[in-house]
Chain A
Amino acid sequence: MNSIELPFEHRMAAHCETGTVTALLNHSGMQLTEPLVFGIAGGIFFGYLKSADLPFPMFILRSRPGDIRKKISKRLGIKFKEQTFRSPEAGQAALDEALRQGHPTAVQVDFFYMDYMPEWQRVHINAHYIVVFGMNGSSYSVSDSYYKQRSQLDRNRLLTARFAGGMMAPKGNMFYPVHIPENPDYARAINIGIRKACFNMLRLPIPFLGVKGIRKFAEKVVEWPKLARNMEDLSDRVMRINIFLEDQGTGGGGFRYMYATFLQQAAGIVKDDRLNAMSKQMMEIGDKWRNISYFAAKIGKNRDLGPDRMKELSGMIYAQADEEQKFFSELYRLVK
């Protein structure tokens, strides 16, 4: 097999999907920032999830995996070639062919199989995205926005990661841009992105999504001690609040800082100073999420997880729900 190494600039990013989409668009000549991709796609969200598929209840802070690419494509008129496969062999052949044709290609994978990451970070989550930009007989060259340098991943390992089953199974999902519009209407795309984000946060009629999801989280977190195996498990689950908010590819403050950055950049594009003021408010909301995450990490480490402390944590989260309800209602009025 001929080895291929396409020229591709590796950059770390806050989040894997927005980072991957941004890197591919930048590579194709479209100079968009990660916050703009996130904001135009209406990525900001909240959901409190509990299911047999999950070992413990968890919360999400962004829209469904895959939505960023779909929405950015629809709102800016970008065309991606996207494929999923039934057979792993066909999926691998299509990836090799895309590389031979000179396309750095994004693939959806189970994060657990990314061997270049430290073992303690690797968990089974099927919603991770990386860019493959080269191959030789035994491995692929990959750019993972969570890792500081380019890496090599064994061919079979990548195949396993692309065809892992389970929740949100990737089914070999891969994509790369094939058409970039010359003059996209950024102002319109920003407006739609903000409106959809506000709708998702305020008006989805589902009791565990959007602002209602934040309240559900606040209501349910006090029940976590009953769900945990023991004190150490509870401590681990509570400390993960910090990881979900800060460390797991959010840009800090549970994506709220990235969204504030989007609003600031959007204010410059649409020449609307009111968005600048909203971005400052969003930054403050991010600061408060950050306080929650620090508080959770501290009480988790100290095993200070009695009913009073959990109620205190719940109170902080309830206050965030009220803040976000107020914020998104005001933002909705601005863009309607």
Chain B
Amino acid sequence: MTFEFILFRNQFIFVSPKMQLLSKNVVPMKEKEIKVNSKKHEVILFVEKEDESYAPVQSGSYIAEHYLDDWLGKRENLEKDLKEQLQKGLISPVYYYMVYQDMGPGDLAKRMGISKRKLKKHFRPEVFGKLCQALLEKYAVVFGVDYKEFGINR
């Protein structure tokens, strides 16, 4: 199979052999082909049965079976990187948990009932260190941790 360029929306798009293979071999959602034997994460998928009717089946998750290790590795690296920044005093625990738990600043500010501007101040370790206990406890509830994990003893 060779490399191809196709004209698409007035521009040439490069189509790799991998993509050509994918586009020619559409993965059909047939019952006998879909079952993933994995207990890591199970999902319900709608598939075509042998009698051509469509129905739900319970299957292991394809991505959990094939890509979970990669994903967990990335989480580990992210945690390590954030911990390093935390120890160097570059970020506060608020920023650490917000990034680690994949939250947007707008969403976190709403959950805390404070403005985004105020939240961003709490990303600075020196400001975070002066927060009152009530606010720390509220952050702890949102992040689902004990506030003592923030490393501040009151």
Contact = CB atoms under 8 A, between A and B. Distances in A.
Contacts of B78: 232-233
A167 B9 contact: no
Interface string B84-128: 000000000000000101111111101111001000000000000
A93 interface: no
Nearest to B141: A160
B110 A55 contact: no
Given A246-B61, A264-B54, A52 B41 contact: no
B43 A14 contact: yes
Interface in A259-274: 260-261, 264
B36 to A, nearest CB: 11
Given A243-B63, A291-B27, A297-B66, A53 B106 contact: yes
B107 A54 contact: yes
Given A165-B113, A286-B29, A257 B67 contact: no
Interface stretch (A72-80, A133-141, A307-315): A307-315
Nearest to A259: B46
A294 B108 contact: no
Contacts of A148: 42, 58
B62 interface: yes
B1 interface: no
Contact of A287 (B26, B41, B67): B26
A111 to B, nearest CB: 12
Q: Is the interface on chain A under 10, 10 to 19, 20 to 34, or 35 or more residues? A: 35 or more
B107 A312 contact: no
Interface stretch (B16-24, B129-137, B146-154): B16-24
B9 A257 contact: no
A113 B99 CA distance: 17
Interface residues of B, number: 60
Interface in A85-143: 112-113, 118, 120-121, 123-124
Contacts of A261: 46, 54-56
B46 A236 contact: no
6 contacts: A14-B46, A120-B68, A239-B67, A246-B62, A257-B45, A312-B19
Interface of A: 12-14, 34-35, 51-55, 112-113, 118, 120-121, 123-124, 145-146, 148, 160, 164-167, 169, 232-233, 235-236, 239, 242-243, 246-247, 249, 251-253, 257-258, 260-261, 264, 279, 283-284, 286-288, 290-291, 294-295, 297-298, 300-301, 308-309, 311-312, 315-316, 318-319
Interface of B: 6, 8-9, 13-16, 18-19, 22-23, 26-29, 34, 41-48, 53-56, 58, 61-64, 66-68, 70-72, 74-75, 77-78, 99, 101-108, 110-113, 116, 141-142, 144
